[in-house]
Structure 1
Amino acid sequence: MATSGGGDDDGVEVKRAFIGAGCNRIVNNVSFSASDLVALGSQNAVAIFSPKTAQILTTLPGHKASVNCTHWLPSPKFAFKAAKHLERHYLLSGDADGVIILWELSVLKGKWRHVLQLPESHKKGVTCISAYMVSETEAIFASTSSDGTVYVWEVALPSTSGGECKLSCLESLFVGSKPMVALSLAELPGSNGRIVLAMGGLDSKIHLYCGERAGKFVHACELKGHTDWIRSLDFSLPVHTNDNTETILLVSSSQDRGIRIWKVAPRGDTKEEICLASYIKGPVLVTGSSSYQVSLESLLIGHEDWVYSVEWQPPTVIPGEGDFYHQPQSILSASMDKTMMIWQPERTSGIWMNVVTVGELSHCALGFYGGHWSSSGDSILAHGYGGSFHLWKNVGVDLDNWQPQKVPSGHFAAVADISWARSSEYLLSVSHDQVMRNPCWHEIARPQVHGHDINCVTIIKGKGNHRYVCGADEKVARVFEATLSFLKTLNHAVSQDGIFEDLQTGVQVLGANMSALGLSQKPIYAQTEQETPNRIGNDNLDTLETIPNAVPVALTEPPIEDQLAWHTLWPESHKLYGHGNELFSLCCNREGNLVASSCKAQSATIAEIWLWQVGSWKAVGRLQSHSLTVTQMEFSHDDKLLLSVSRDRQFSVFAIKGTGSDEISHELVARQEAHKRIIWACSWNPHGYEFATGSRDKTVKIWDVENQSLVKLLLTLPPFKASVTALSWIGLGNNKKNGLLAVGMENGLIELWSLSINRTNDGSTGAPPATAARFAQLDPVLCHVSAVNRLAWRNKEKGDEECSGLQLASCGADHCVRVFDVKAPCDVDSFGFMNLRVEGTKLL
């Protein structure tokens, strides 16, 4: 954390207020800890969230490629070994470049530390990491990759705070041209520390390797039975049979939709009793002087699609028995058929049965990539194809009663644009995951699920119902209007009774239904909300046209994923045709009567900016100035000027005037080549006609429009370390000469600069027309790990001099939406060049 001098009274404080992020769509990406925290890969970062608060607590930067898998030390399987009372927990994460990083969490302080990066990395992406805790300070873990190798490691964890982790590679195994994608480790019962490693993958076989704690791992046997890729493996801890023999059970799942349970038992001289539960003997596993009989215990059939994960319920401590534990005979499976199942053996026959099924989501969901137990076994978590989480908790007393719980949410692709509501009640974000969301420190609505990557959005700032315009990888801009159910939900969310009562009286649309192809969204009117369509003759017909109707309702608490995906849509009211290519940028003036749009372009004709009149949605202007894509536009504080920047390295300033008859006149005031590379961002000073431009040439320049006709350069900020991709300027209090400029860069970092404009300078005093000082470099832990795509200050309703309530929103290519609380004195001159206090990572 970078912290500069200065007391708390006159300094600047930046805190994390909100993180929204989705999960990478890959198997093995999510893991529960023994202390019931959840780790997940979100693009190049590892995100940590708490199921108790349903909030993402922090993101860990360090990986340079997409994170594929995570694994906790200890995992819930070893929570019974007093793991919940450990001062430090550790996390392993592997990425698509083959890099594995070990992280340390100080539980009491909530502080994270990058411990080390494994020295021998895989040549290709890591697909699975599995570990076995030998003791509280020692673990053995294995990693596998699509490069066809499996590494086995031993790590000695420090027993005291600040100690070093000692790492050694025990084995490097090459498994051939068909890589392994699933691993599990266990200690063989009665073997004095011999370890068994199970691996499965593309050859549809389970391979068992045996080795000593510090010895070589040797291929012992292979288990055949599955007919498609092995997707998940998990060993139980030793289970005691009726004759006090210790056995371990291995559960496997496959793309053949089946789940198999294998028993590994020591071979003895006693005659085994033949029973229905164990009737198929497999190979004999020999290691040292010990031998073990492997047999197929059970075959579980119930899922209708690929079974991506299986996991034993974590053991529980037997009260009053010291270190003794009970391994529940309970398995959790997750499948692409949109369900998770809990399997348990029937008490009398011992036959494994499906006892709980959760999921069965709407048509929007495309199945689960994994399912995980909490350490106590009373909660189960799934992550889905849409980057979403689904959490169920057993709230029953005598009987099981699994109920859905709140979880964090976010985009699973690059977030392209954000826009605050006109009174900043909520924030709207759009992404290349083709979803538009309302994250309000909890996601309260998902107004649009689209068939194309969404590139830009603007909320209409004028009076009337809440509306927004969005542009995607199509040539059409679309207009959406808030529903009655959303307005009621928003009224409850902001805790101000009656604030949206006037809007609700004129809104007849209760919600919206998604079309078959996921493009247009049709309104559901309040007077027909109880009506259901007559589908006589089509009851058994499963087509795209039989999508069930949404059931929009006013929400009094944050919705769960299934409600968001289907019941919070907004209807589309208009389509704006005119552009020749994919939409790229949108903006709305502050009066709310004019929208500007641009599209991807490689010629002056296509690069023109279109002006649309709000309400009639007529095209009232076509502004020609640029020769390549216009990357961003913004209206001045009084709506008299429109600023645009482009890939052609030029900015343009247009004078916009209303003629009084719903007509708009426009005139090109200035056009200038401002930078040496693409100009990505621009922002007006809220208190004047100064504006900032940011470019790929790593510079930010401050310009002034004199008399709305002549543009001159006031100041060039010192070069940044990366391309500047986002800018946002806000005034501080009533002091109209001072402002705060947020600068976002391609490397994900964000800086805050104080700007002071001297408008009374006539050149005779020698004082500069503008001064700038960097006073805040946000800690990388707080920032994005990929390019910042947009920054937006939250508008303050009150013009008082108290600036403690500033909030800055950002979105980036790392799939994240972030909101920062910024406390700054209104008098920029009072805190000089560098004066900052930034809150680091903190568990809430």
Structure 2
Amino acid sequence: MASGGDSTQVGVGRVFIGAGCNRIFNNVSWGACDLVSFGAQNAVAIFCPKSAQILATLPGHKAYVNCTHWLPSNNFSFKAKHLERHYLLSGDVDGVIILWELSLVDKKWRSVLLVPEAHRKGVTCFSAILVSHSDAMFASTSSDGTVKVWELIFPSNSSGDCRLSCLDSITVGTKPMVALSLMEFPGNSHYLALAMGGLDNKIHIYSGERTGKFIHACELKGHTDWIRSLDFSLPLCTSGETSSLLLASSSQDKGIRIWKMVLRDSLGNKEMSSLASYIKGPIFSAGSASYQISLESLLIGHEDWVYSVEWQPPQNSSADGNECYQPLSILSASMDKTMMVWQPEKTTGVWMNVVTVGELSHSALGFYGGHWSPMGDSILANGYGGSFHHWKNIGTSFDDWKPQKVPSGHFKAVSDISWARGGEYLLSVSHDQTTRIFSPWCKEYFQEDGETWHEIARPQVHGHDINCVTLVRGKGNHRFVSGADEKVSRVFEAPLSFLKTLNHSSLQQSSFTEDVPANFQILGANMSALGLSQKPVYVQASPDSTEGNRTDGIDSLETIPEAVPMELREPPIEEQLAWHTLWPESHKLYGHGNELFSLCCDHEGKLVASSCKAQSAYVAEIWLWQVGTWKSVGRLHSHSLTVTQLEFSHDDNFLLAVSRDRHLSVFSIKHTGVDEIKHQLIVNQEAHKRIIWACSWNPYCYEFATGSRDKTVKIWQVEEESSVKLLTTLPMFKSSVTALSWLGVDRQRNHGLLAVGMENGLIELWSYSNTTNENRSIEVPNVAVFVRFDPFICHVSAVHRLRWKNGEKCGDSKSMQLASCGDDQCVRIFQVDVV
């Protein structure tokens, strides 16, 4: 709990985080703690596979996160039974490595170590080995052409510091290494084997002591394209002795190779013909032991680049957990949209593909990596679309792999959000060219306390980056208007399949269902081949018939008939979201001269205002559209550069606009007839010294706030509907102000909470109140910081939009919800509790 400005106690908690995975290999890691880490823009995100929820995002990186790796990883879960603290490595494109600590007791995270210039360029891969409960070694590789080996000493207590030392730096030349694997030599635990592969199509084996330098031992040739993944098995035991080690490698040549490293009897046993040496592979020494590597098997089955190969984690073979065995099972993931499990036949020993899972939808464009759960009963892939794909083996006597729920979200910057009128769901748009709907699913489905949020629909999959959105608040079907990097605004209406899904997701019936016409016949939508217009699919059309999804006069090239709109009774998986939850487009709004930038709807759902990117006064005009007929009913001129945000006052009498030209403007809006709007510019004045990014009205009166790149927030009042007066300026913030949202708390005292989002990702709440005397003159406003959000629950990059779930606090409720979106690919919902 934090202390508020009025001697109240304020609690701010995470309700939901939606984020997509950075589209790069080596980005995801499944730890022995049964949590999954991944990079989401500059943040390191953590999600729980069991609940399908993102638990935290870790701030610290200033650049795009390339790779993460748990200590201990799932390969060493048999050693992690009694560990109270787990660690996580993360690396970014600037060469920075950060070590994080997770305390399993209180579920708290902390950054324990930052190596600012571990590499001169981006870190691309980690591989680590847990030597003991207090000691680990890991290797990192980078596009700067070096591979570094590190020793990490863990603290003996929770308040201690980790000690990190670089043991060796290996220069690999102009063709960087992108895959690593580190393991103890079989029968010789004092020496480590380091396998690395990359752009020269070869696998390089290095050997070294735990405390010394690594030397090049041999090269393995065979792959004909870049090496993408390497993974050592646990040393294998034969006749009670550890004598061999297996290495799996995958490549862009679509093949997987298994190499066997065998401990030889002595260094003197080298007499063999050149042919035998060629077949059996190279021989090298590590300390006093000699090893030989040979190709064990070649696995062919994938039809595209194989980005990932991973051995099934070792499993305990004794009740006390001191002994374990290495299952002979390999998971591979490929850009051909499949993951495969490979195992040797019991009789012949020939490696075969025993399980194949994947995505068949048009939206899936391949997998960047595949990962085992610590128990080996689940597999997880991260895809090209920033999505996760999770399967679990629920069979007992035979394998039966079923898709599981996963967290989802945008994989590029989230530009705007909008709440449904009744707060049933949150709509977001992004530069990843998708529109997504997140909603709480009733607790009965999950049989646990509280609600869990999930993505339940993807109404728009577009061909341009989407910049702005607004939900139409009036009666009738759910509708929204979106604006993208094109000159057209597009109107979408909810189909029957979504309305039915929405009633399953929440115990409370949708506030819109009663307004839907009884003869409503649109079931869903189909996507055009160019990813622009979405055509309606009608109830009477047969979803199984290709012809049923087309209408007369539409060329078959313009629609893709595989979309089957569906009523969802449980949170959907990625394949359902990507293709079967589209909304039909009902109108296009033409008029603007450049890319759309800002949209807003009035509170009665009668008018929509829009603006576009502009470098001149003529292009910077604001257009008003009438909801329903979607006719243009006004063109407002005031600014000379892009209007960055628009917002109607809560009684819809005024429209506020702020702009890149550092000016604010207020227009009066009056409905003079059924189809007529009268508008008048009341004031246009310079308000800040830099670009104004955000604005928000006070729900109780004609007061509003503006936020700017000049790091200030100013409170203004409209006087006598003819001028604007500056009431107060908040103390200067540490970063540019990029988002504002005003919540009404107490109408009698004109008390409210102003949420302020900044370019550094942080969010603050400010308390605002004033009193009005009999002559209605305003006293000096009382403004104070109410609470500053914990950086570990905030964004790590610029906040683009803040939205309270309701404009006013509901009655005696002590709890409010605030939604935010930002440059870090995240959609977040916070719960603010005032005690």
Which of the five TM-score ranges fits, normalised by the shorter chain? Answer: over 0.9
Superposed displacement of residue 804, structure 1: 1.4
Aligned mates of 1:530, 1:63 — CA distance in 2:
47
SS at match of 2:152: strand
2:790 is the counterpart of 1:779: yes
SS at match of 1:80: helix
Select which of 699, 703, 713 maps to 1:686: 699
Superposed displacement of residue 242, structure 1: 6.0
Superposed displacement of residue 520, structure 1: 1.0
SS at match of 1:490: helix
Instruction: Give the residue type in structure 2 aligned to 1:399.
Output: F
Aligned mates of 2:808, 2:768 — CA distance in 1:
22
Superposed displacement of residue 763, structure 1: 9.7
Superposed displacement of residue 192, structure 1: 4.1
Q: Which residue of 1 is the match for residue 646 of structure 2?
A: 633
TM-score scaled by length of structure 1: 0.93
Q: Deviations over 1:736-780 (max 9, x none)?
A: 51111000111111110011133337699xx84322111211111
Is the CA contact (8 Å cut-off) linking 2:526 and 2:559 kept in structure 1?
no
2:816 is the counterpart of 1:806: yes
Q: Which residue of 1 is the match for residue 32 of structure 2?
A: 34
Superposed displacement of residue 323, structure 1: 1.8
Instruction: Give the residue type in structure 2 aligned to 1:807.
Output: Q
2:71 is the counterpart of 1:59: no
Alpha-carbon distance change, 353 to 374 in structure 1, aligned in 2, over 3 angstroms: same
Aligned mates of 1:601, 1:10 — CA distance in 2:
45
Q: Which residue of 2 is the match for residue 658 of structure 1?
A: 671
Select which of 686, 696, 719 maps to 1:706: 719
Aligned mates of 2:536, 2:466 — CA distance in 1:
21
SS at match of 1:85: coil
Q: Which residue of 2 is the match for residue 830 of structure 1?
A: none
Superposed displacement of residue 287, structure 1: 1.9
Is the CA contact (8 Å cut-off) linking 1:37 and 1:48 kept in structure 2?
yes
Is the CA contact (8 Å cut-off) linking 1:128 and 1:145 kept in structure 2?
yes
Select which of 614, 618, 627 maps to 1:605: 618
Q: Deviations over 1:314-354 (max 9, x none)?
A: 01111347522110000000001100000001111111111
Superposed displacement of residue 549, structure 1: 2.1
Q: Which residue of 1 is the match for residue 482 of structure 2?
A: 470
Q: Which residue of 1 is the match for residue 159 of structure 2?
A: 162
Select which of 451, 454, 457 maps to 2:469: 457
Unaligned runs of 5+ in 2: 440-452, 549-555
Is the CA contact (8 Å cut-off) linking 1:424 and 1:795 kept in structure 2?
yes
SS at match of 2:341: strand
Aligned mates of 1:206, 1:503 — CA distance in 2:
65
Q: Which residue of 1 is the match for residue 683 of structure 2?
A: 670
2:755 is the counterpart of 1:742: yes
Q: Which residue of 2 is the match for residue 828 of structure 1?
A: none
Aligned mates of 2:32, 2:307 — CA distance in 1:
22
Map 1:404-483; keep pairs closer than 5 Å: 404-440=403-439, 441-483=453-495
Is the CA contact (8 Å cut-off) linking 1:387 and 1:411 kept in structure 2?
yes
Alpha-carbon distance change, 498 to 369 in structure 1, aligned in 2, over 3 angstroms: closer
Superposed displacement of residue 786, structure 1: 0.5
Instruction: Give the residue type in structure 2 aligned to 1:393.
Output: K
Q: Deviations over 1:345-404 (max 9, x none)?
A: 111111111100001330101110000000000000000111111100000011100000
Map 1:315-714; keep pairs closer than 5 Å: 315-320=314-319, 323-440=322-439, 441-497=453-509, 500-504=512-516, 505-534=518-547, 547-714=560-727
Instruction: Give the residue type in structure 1 aligned to 2:824.
Output: D
Percent pairwise identity: 71
Superposed displacement of residue 58, structure 1: 0.6
Is the CA contact (8 Å cut-off) linking 2:306 and 2:334 kept in structure 1?
yes
SS at match of 1:194: strand
Q: Which residue of 1 is the match for residue 12 of structure 2?
A: 14
CA RMSD of aligned residues (A): 2.1
Q: Which residue of 1 is the match for residue 446 of structure 2?
A: none
Superposed displacement of residue 157, structure 1: 1.3
Aligned mates of 1:98, 1:735 — CA distance in 2:
55
Superposed displacement of residue 796, structure 1: 6.3
TM-score scaled by length of structure 2: 0.94
Is the CA contact (8 Å cut-off) linking 1:363 and 1:547 kept in structure 2?
no
Q: Which residue of 1 is the match for residue 212 of structure 2?
A: 215
Is the CA contact (8 Å cut-off) linking 2:477 and 2:513 kept in structure 1?
no
Q: Deviations over 1:520-569 (max 9, x none)?
A: 1111111114451259xxxxxxx966834222221121111111111111
Map 1:252-267; keep pairs closer than 5 Å: 252-267=249-264
Select which of 183, 187, 190 maps to 1:190: 187
Map 1:79-118; keep pairs closer than 5 Å: 79-81=77-79, 83-118=80-115
Is the CA contact (8 Å cut-off) linking 2:4 and 2:787 kept in structure 1?
no
Alpha-carbon distance change, 798 to 682 in structure 1, aligned in 2, over 3 angstroms: closer
Aligned mates of 1:383, 1:272 — CA distance in 2:
48
Superposed displacement of residue 626, structure 1: 0.4
Aligned mates of 1:379, 1:279 — CA distance in 2:
39
Q: Deviations over 1:680-726 (max 9, x none)?
A: 00000111110111111111111111122121111111111111000
SS at match of 1:442: strand
SS at match of 1:122: coil
Aligned mates of 2:557, 2:361 — CA distance in 1:
13
Is the CA contact (8 Å cut-off) linking 2:764 and 2:785 kept in structure 1?
yes
Aligned mates of 1:438, 1:502 — CA distance in 2:
21
Q: Deviations over 1:411-458 (max 9, x none)?
A: 110000000011111100000000110012211111111110000000
Q: Which residue of 1 is the match for residue 745 of structure 2?
A: 732
Unaligned runs of 5+ in 1: 536-542, 826-844
Alpha-carbon distance change, 553 to 165 in structure 1, aligned in 2, over 3 angstroms: same
Alpha-carbon distance change, 366 to 61 in structure 1, aligned in 2, over 3 angstroms: same
Is the CA contact (8 Å cut-off) linking 2:4 and 2:785 kept in structure 1?
no
Is the CA contact (8 Å cut-off) linking 1:99 and 1:118 kept in structure 2?
yes
Choose 607-616 or 243-252, whichever is displaced more: 243-252
Q: Deviations over 1:550-596 (max 9, x none)?
A: 22221121111111111111010111111000000000001101100
Is the CA contact (8 Å cut-off) linking 1:582 and 1:599 kept in structure 2?
yes
Q: Deviations over 1:662-695 (max 9, x none)?
A: 1111110111100010000000011111011111
Instruction: Give the residue type in structure 2 aligned to 1:327.
Output: Q
Aligned mates of 1:239, 1:272 — CA distance in 2:
26
Is the CA contact (8 Å cut-off) linking 1:60 and 1:781 kept in structure 2?
yes
Higher relative contact order (CA 8 A, sep 6+): 1
Is the CA contact (8 Å cut-off) linking 1:27 and 1:370 kept in structure 2?
yes
Aligned mates of 1:30, 1:272 — CA distance in 2:
45
Aligned mates of 1:279, 1:421 — CA distance in 2:
68
Aligned mates of 1:79, 1:55 — CA distance in 2:
22
Map 1:743-758; keep pairs closer than 5 Å: 743-758=756-771
Is the CA contact (8 Å cut-off) linking 2:370 and 2:382 kept in structure 1?
yes
Choose 323-332 or 545-554, whichever is displaced more: 545-554
SS at match of 1:528: coil
SS at match of 2:490: strand
Select which of 821, 828, 834 maps to 2:831: 821
Q: Which residue of 2 is the match for residue 50 of structure 1?
A: 48
Instruction: Give the residue type in structure 2 aligned to 1:114.
Output: S
SS at match of 2:688: coil
Q: Deviations over 1:24-83 (max 9, x none)?
A: 1111100001021001111111111001111000111011111100000111111112x1
Alpha-carbon distance change, 552 to 352 in structure 1, aligned in 2, over 3 angstroms: same
Select which of 223, 226, 236 maps to 1:226: 223
